[in-house]
Chains A and B, each alone.
Chain A
Amino acid sequence: MSTIKIRSKRLADYTLVRTLIAHPMETGKRKDDETGELVPAHFIQTLNFKHNDQLMSQCQMGFGVSKNPFFSFQIKSAQAGDIVSISWQDNLGYSDSAEHIIR
């Protein structure tokens, strides 16, 4: 299952795109409750937000972003049927991407 959920809403002046990504965003300083060992850092580093293959926003982040990161953007003009996509890469080399069709 994809780790990315995308929702969109066309409003009068703009289109709101919201995304929720399932990711632990470990800082590397948190201790495991059972073993007491440090949980290694594991966090998303870059996120790309595209609208019809055009890069709208590139986000670079550290582990200061919350667990299961949430982001929202507003596209000035989007039509029904347009495709938005989100992709991410993390510090351990994992990545994922998802597409969403605006209604």
Chain B
Amino acid sequence: MHTTRRNFMIKMLTTTGYALGLVFSKTGLADWLASDFRRRTIGTTLTELFPDQVLHKTNKINLKLPRIAENGSVVPITITSSIENVDTIYILSEKNPVPLIAKFTINPELETYIGARFKMQETCDVIVVLKAENQYYQTRQKVKVTLGGCGG
């Protein structure tokens, strides 16, 4: 296409706007920690996410997960718990390339409840960790995956 002065100016403005948008969004994302979402094994993930912490096993966390997931790219999960004052919920999948799926902060105005859908690479345990009053609680449940959902 023949570049006129007007076209050139429009292009300049849009690219500058986009670049500025990127810069500002980066500052807004300051609290998204890339280190939390690195590719690594479940063992290192747990020790780096919860350094020097004991993850108490508990039966007070209820997970609603399918026993067999036919499609690993959409696995529904529902988490409820009777533990009081929960402030953070972590969802991890043991054998995913990035084991940490998501973490949620929970305001006291919310019930201890999260529903979500996530991907699973292969059959493994799903681990849910709750943080309440600086104590960590965990529970795990095995999900059988027929078709992996992480692509490639």
* Contact of B115 with A18 in the complex, beta carbons under 8 Å: yes
Interface-centre pick from A29, A46, A51, A64 (highest chain B CB count, 10 A): A64
* Contact of B25 with A89 in the complex, beta carbons under 8 Å: yes
A83 within 8 A of B: no
* B32 partner, pick from A27, A46, A54, beta carbons under 8 A: A46
Give Cα A60 to B91, complex, Å.
11
Q: Across the two chains, which residue of chain A brings its CB closest to B26?
A: A93
* A66 partner, pick from B28, B74, B103, B104, beta carbons under 8 A: B74
Give Cα A62 to B37, complex, Å.
6
CB distance from A8 to the nearest CB of B (A): 13
CB distance from B139 to the nearest CB of A (A): 18
Contact with A along B75-95 (1 / 0, CB 8 A): 110100000000000000100
Give Cα A66 to B69, complex, Å.
13
CB distance from B84 to the nearest CB of A (A): 13
* Contact of B115 with A72 in the complex, beta carbons under 8 Å: yes
The contact size tier of chain A is 35 or more
Q: Across the two chains, which residue of chain B brings its CB closest to A65?
A: B118
- Where chain A touches its partner, the secondary structure class is strand
Beyond A59-B104, A64-B119, is A76–B98 a contact (Cβ under 8 Å)?
no
* A95 partner, pick from B25, B36, B74, beta carbons under 8 A: B25
Beyond A46-B32, A73-B114, is A63–B98 a contact (Cβ under 8 Å)?
yes
* A57 partner, pick from B32, B104, B151, beta carbons under 8 A: B104
**Can you list 20 A-B pairs with a CB-CB distance of less than 8 A?**
A14-B113, A27-B151, A30-B151, A31-B152, A45-B29, A55-B105, A56-B106, A56-B110, A59-B103, A59-B104, A61-B101, A62-B100, A64-B101, A64-B150, A65-B102, A66-B149, A71-B115, A72-B114, A75-B110, A76-B109
Could you list which residues of chain A lie within 8 angstroms of chain B, going by C-beta atoms? 14, 18, 27, 29-31, 45-46, 51, 54-67, 69-77, 89, 93-95
Q: Which 8 A-B pairs have the closest CB atoms?
A: A30-B151, A72-B115, A62-B37, A61-B102, A74-B111, A64-B101, A29-B152, A93-B25
